[in-house]
Amino acid sequence: MTDTLDISITRAEETRLTVTDFSLLPFGKVFTDHMFTADFEDGEWKNFQILPYGPIPTSPAISALHYGQAIFEGMKAYRLPDGRISVFRADKNLDRFNKSAVRMAMPTIPEEIFMQGLATLLKIDEKWVPAQENYSLYIRPVMYATDPYLGVRASDTYKFALLTTPTGPYYSNALKVKIEDQYTRADDGGVGYAKTAGNYARSLYPFAEAQKEGFDQLIWTDAAAHEYIEEAGTANLLFVIDGKLVTPSIRSTVLDGVTRDTIITLAREQGVEVEERRVSVKEIIEGIQNGRVTEAFAAGTAATVTHIGQIGYRGELYQLSDPATRSVSNGIAKTLNDIRYGLSEDSHGWNWII
Ligand code: COI
């Protein structure tokens, strides 16, 4: 891609790199020195800027705050063995960002703004991409409605920003998850497939309740009958059942995960049979009891591949196999990481070298 965007660059007076402890990187708390921003005004994107990372002054009347027009994405940049930086499947994240935008009545972001904004930011904050094993630079694109207007309608103006934060895996251990059968994350015809703020907001109370019971995460089920497994909110879900990789099919209530898509592509290439279909709670619970469900994991950009160790359902706890013994998910996680970190051939062209 040729650089066509006129980006104004204001550099931070000092870098925070020297005071950042890279051995202590909680997810999403430490931001790099700069951010990229753009504004949608008068029907077009303008004001392309790299700025020192920091507050963006705004009116308390903006519609994002009142009516929830806000969307985001999650991607990662990796340090390759030769020191270069690679972003994994940025095109797919842009595609999903724009699907979210359409559903939320927001403007889409043209590819050159997203990609050139990101490339410029990453080149400037290049030293922030960690080199430790399993670490990466998490990239958070976000767009929110900025009309200071309390009438209910789609905003005319928006802010787009790219934030970057060095991080390790979102989850550090195998998860104890609860199958949620009271609250719901998404309904048919709603916005479940969009990465919009409200989907996360509505999950917070049920999640906090589950945490009080000792769970790390929820497994959401369908709104109609709580009969089918959908996703985990922070990640998609995959199971190994009778040796096959089985994952809930993408529907209007389930986010079309980029990591999920990558995993099923790699699994098929390795000869693992993959089924994308409805997965009932009954099938999983009975499958754990009779040994047919041998592995379960969450997959997402932040979560990467995180084993599920225990599943709680209606007051009972079901124990899965020792994560160290899980050949399918451990094998796929290694193949995936080797591609992302440039340790094996990227035959799909998923790595975008900056
Ligand atoms: C991601 O995996 O990038 C996500 O957006 C999940 C996040 C809410 C932790």
218: pLDDT strictly greater than 80: yes
What is the spatial distance between Cα 329 and Cα 273, in angstroms, rounded to a whole number? 13
The tokens for 97 are 């960002």
Gap from CA of 234 to ligand 1 centroid (Å): 5
**Which residue's CA is the closest to the ligand 1 atom numbered 7?**
234
Q: Which atom of ligand 1 is nearest to the CA of 300?
A: 2
Helix (H, G, I), strand (E, B) or coil at 272: coil
Q: Is the pLDDT of residue 2 over 90?
A: no
Q: In angstroms, how far is the first alpha carbon of the chain from the final one?
A: 11
Q: Quick one: which H or E segment has residue 248?
A: strand 244-248
Residue limits of CATH 3.20.10.10 in the chain:
175-341
Residue 89's nearest CA partner among 100, 101, 78, 102 is 78
Cβ of 74 below 6 Å from ligand 1: yes
Residues 6+ apart with CB under 8 A from 56: 37, 159, 161
d(CA 73, ligand 1 centre) in Å? 7
In the chain, CATH 3.30.470.10 covers 8-169
Q: Which residue has the tokens 């089918």?
A: 228
The per-residue pLDDT for 232 is 96
**Range 255-264 average pLDDT:** 97
The reported pTM is: 0.96
Separation between Cα atoms, residue 148 and residue 157, nearest integer Å? 9
- Per-residue pLDDT tens digits for 57-113: 999 999 999 999 999 999 999 999 999 999 999 999 999 999 999 999 999 999 999
The predicted model gives 213-238 an average pLDDT of: 97
Q: Which tokens belong to 136?
A: 């990466």
Segment 109-121 mean pLDDT: 98
- Rounded to the nearest angstrom, the distance between the alpha carbon of 235 and the centre of ligand 1 is 7
- Per residue in 125-165, pLDDT tens? 999 999 998 899 999 999 999 999 999 999 999 999 999 99
Is the C-beta atom of 234 inside 6 A of ligand 1? yes
Q: What is the pLDDT of residues 192-208, one digit of tens each?
A: 999 999 999 999 999 99
State residue 233's pLDDT score. 87
Q: How confident is the model at residue 74, as a pLDDT?
A: 97
Contacts of 153 (CB under 8 A, 6+ apart): none
Predicted confidence at residue 1, as pLDDT, reads 60
Rounded to whole angstroms, the Cα distance separating 99 from 256 reads 10
pLDDT band at 281 (very low <50, low <70, confident <90, very high): very high
Which residue puts its alpha carbon closest to atom 6 of ligand 1? Answer: 234
Q: Where are the alpha helices (DSSP H) in the chain?
A: 63-67, 90-103, 111-124, 197-212, 258-269, 281-289, 327-340
Q: Let me know if domain 175-341 sits in CATH 3.20.20.150.
A: no
Residue whose CA lies nearest to ligand 1 atom number 8: 234
The pLDDT of 274-301, averaged and rounded, is 98
Cβ of residue 186 lying under 6 Å from some atom of ligand 1: no
Supply the pLDDT for residue 45.
98
C-beta of 141 in contact with ligand 1 (< 6 A): no
- Which one is the CATH code of 8-169: 3.30.470.10, 3.30.2010.10, 3.50.50.60, 3.20.20.140? 3.30.470.10
Kindly state the percentage of the chain with pLDDT values over 70: 99
Ranking 41-45, 166-170, 199-203, 298-302 by mean pLDDT, the lowest is 166-170
Q: Is the CB of 304 under 6 A from ligand 1?
A: no
Q: Are 332 and 201 in contact (CB under 8 A)?
A: no
